[in-house]
Amino acid sequence: MDVGLREAKKQETRRLISDHATRLFLEQGFEETTIAQVAAAARVAKKTVTNYFARKEDLVLDHQDEFVATLAAAVSSREPGESALAALRRAFEAAVAAKDPVVGFAGLEFSRMIAESPTLSACLRGLHEQRERALAQALADAVGSPRTDITVRTAAAVLGAVHHSLFERIEELTLAGRPVDEVAATVEAEAARAFDLLEPSLGNYAVASAPS
């Protein structure tokens, strides 16, 4: 079996396990479902499940690296003359328009599963903290300061908090049973107000230089 085919097979197995796990978690609840049940449903060995997913919560939050990197990526890819705040605002608006799960559009059943599980809720809070640390490093690189610099840390904390608040707002509206288009429209308007509040302090922070 060549390398490409082997990798495709691995991805197929990973997706199969994840799909069966999600179905069981939604049907039975995260806390109540065991790794052995997931393995049986996917028709693989229990060790195969743990080889692909080190922790049970990884079966649910299987795009963790993407989530943690999103804010830092927006800052790193900002356009010439664009501040970190403007780049983050632009990226968030695009994500809301696309109803991207990474900003919270996970659907009612999935959002309820997260909210009802202490383990998953704690894991998600940890991911928000990791995302803020990654953002702080991206800001530090952008302005040429150490990540421990108080200005960098404060900017990352404020920008991270706004995104965390908006994520929770999407989750809140979703759990209330609001239609997804209504959630997107509501959050789009509220995000504009939230980002506007930051303009006086961060509107000119970490502005990307024009290429020389």
- Whether the model clears a pTM of 0.85, i.e. scores above it, the answer is yes
Neighbour-count burial of 211, counting CB atoms closer than 10 A to its CB (0-12 exposed, 13-18 middle, 19+ buried)? exposed
The stretch 35-61 carries a mean pLDDT of: 93
Domain at 190, CATH number? 1.10.357.10
Mean pLDDT of the chain: 94
Condensed to tens digits (0 to 9), the pLDDT of residues 71-113 reads 999 999 999 999 999 999 999 999 999 999 999 999 999 999 9
Residue 6: pLDDT band (50, 70, 90) is confident
- Total of domains in the chain: 2
Examine the domain organization and report whether 170 and 128 are in the same domain.
Answer: yes
Amino acid 75 reads V
Same domain, 92 and 186: yes
In a domain, 212, yes or no: no
Question: Could you give the percent of the chain with pLDDT greater than 70?
Answer: 98
Range of the domain at 15: 3-59
Which pLDDT band, with edges at 50, 70 and 90, does 4 fall under?
confident
Residue 123 lies in a domain: yes
Domain contains 211: no
